[in-house]
Amino acid sequence: MTCPPRGVLDIELLPPFRARDVVHRLEALLLASDSLRDSIAYWTIEQDLLGPDLARCLTGPQGFICVDIHRPTHIDFLADLRSRGAAVYLHLFDLAGNTEAPGIKGLPPFLLHSKVMLFDLKDGRSVLWVGSHNATQRALLGINIETSLLVTLERSAPLYSDAAHYLESIRSSCDLVELHLVDYYKWLQGLDGAANVIELEDDSGATLEKTRITILGDQLRDYTSLKQVDASLFVAITDSVTAKERFYQSTISETGKLESSARSRGATTFGERRWAFRSGMSLPLLQPTSAIPAKFYGRSKYFVTIALGELLPEDTIAKEPTGSNRWRDYEDEEEATERLKQPFTGKKGDRRPRIRKAVPPDAVKYDVLELEDRKRMKNHELVRRRVIQRG
């Protein structure tokens, strides 16, 4: 019979067969502990699921939790923990490129994947929890098939020291959550509240609620972008005279390609309506109610008809980040370079892997662009992502 390692008092497999709900076990461990050191990939649960002792065990000189920034991690739930005094850290790194065989897709970009918890019990012992459980309801309530080992230790055990040092090394690569940066963390996740917006210019000064408009254009990339949005979006219409931008909650009612053969036959026509023709990547000018002249059908490769709905309040604005890059290369770091030593074939689909770190918060700025700024854009997309702030 092999003796357990020095200082190891007990080893348990969790969960036991037919009892996959581990929440109660976590609650009991937290109640019995002075502190918890934790590293985990996903956090999607409200802290109340594990009871009031969670925040207490993550507060103080010993306790902390490190979580990966990527979705489905829920920033608001982590911010709630932080507001209660818990030491909450985020791993703000990302992976780009190919790390497996060329063509393999679907691997998530996050790099913090360990699930390790070290509980310091009030009686002087410790429990090391290592396994597959993330802080999700799927994992903790038994929906997923998950497995972890619980090792009860004396604090003099080499395994305890190794685990503590390992968790501390993870914390050293993470950033302490700052409550005033919640919007920044959501922006890194792509959850900054940005919405799909189609922009038009209008010189009529009219209010267009409950109006149907049609846009035709000569760039198929516009049609591709339309296919990638759901039916709901905003239409922003800027008055040519006052430069005031107004926003309508809108719905795409119909869209399609205009094939060259159909255009030459005049097979597609619309009745009288407000309409616009988008040439190249320009900001379209909305035309008065009329039949669309035949020459524009002949030049167009797509159309989209939009039903304008509710006009948002007068003081609604749309902000947009000055730059869209959330991550910057981190390849100069010795650790990153060492971790990415692997064959690179250069074949199609094989992109050299790069570890990247989040751009700093002060690099992210939101501007309200005036009409002339938007008209000067060289590549003004038909559907743009903008953050709509209602008054």
CA distances from 368 to 136, 194, 322 (A): 38, 13, 10
> Confidence band (pLDDT; 50, 70, 90) for 325?
confident
Give the tokens for residue 29.
């461990």
Cα gap 379→189, rounded to integer Å: 25
Give the lowest-confidence range in 45-54, 245-254, 329-338: 329-338
Most confident of 18-27, 89-98, 246-255: 246-255
- Which pLDDT value is given to residue 353? 78
Q: What region, left, alpha or beta, does residue 126 occupy, with left being phi > 0 and alpha being psi -120 to 50 degrees? A: beta
Please, what is the Cα angle at 348 between 347 and 350, to 5 degrees? 70
Pairing of strands 116-121, 33-40: antiparallel
Residue pair 185/191 in contact (Cβ under 8 Å)? The answer is no
Within 10 angstroms of residue 214's Cβ, the number of other Cβ atoms is: 20
Report pLDDT digits (tens) over 119-145. 999 999 999 999 999 999 999 998 899
- Quick one: pLDDT at residue 327? 92
Q: Is the model's pLDDT at 248 over the cut of 80?
A: yes
Between CA 324 and CA 36 the distance in angstroms is 37
* pLDDT value of position 324: 65
Residue 273's pLDDT band (cuts 50, 70, 90): very high
**Average pLDDT along the chain:** 89
pTM: 0.77
Percent of the chain with pLDDT over 90: 64
Q: State yes or no: pLDDT of 331 exceeds 90.
A: no
CA–CA distance, 273 with 214 (Å, rounded to integer): 7
What pLDDT, on a 0 to 100 scale, did the predictor assign at position 192? Answer: 80
Q: What is the pLDDT of residue 262?
A: 55
State residue 333's pLDDT score.
56
Which of 26-35, 173-182, 224-233 bottoms out in mean pLDDT, i.e. has the lowest? 224-233
- Residue 169: the pLDDT is 97
* Predicted local distance difference test score (pLDDT) of residue 59: 96
Confidence label for 19 from pLDDT (cuts 50, 70 and 90): low
Answer whether 207's CB lies under 8 Å from 335's CB.
Answer: no
List phi, psi (to 5°) of 362: -75, -5
* pLDDT interval class at 314 (50, 70, 90): very high
Would you tell me how many other CB atoms lie within 10 Å of the CB of residue 260?
A: 9
Q: Is the peptide bond before 72 cis (omega within 30 degrees of 0)?
A: yes
The C-alpha torsion from 77 through 82 and 84 to 86, rounded to 10°, is: 120
Euclidean distance between CA atoms 288 and 295, whole angstroms? 17
What is the reported pLDDT for 334?
A: 62
Confidence of residue 260 (pLDDT cuts 50, 70, 90): confident
Average pLDDT (244-266) is: 82
Angle at the Cα of 35 from the Cα atoms of 31 and 39, rounded to 5 degrees: 110
What pLDDT, on a 0 to 100 scale, did the predictor assign at position 342? 62
pLDDT of residue 344: 61
Q: Is the pLDDT of residue 99 over 80?
A: no
Count of CB atoms situated within 10 Å of the CB of 65: 27
pLDDT at 152 over 70: yes
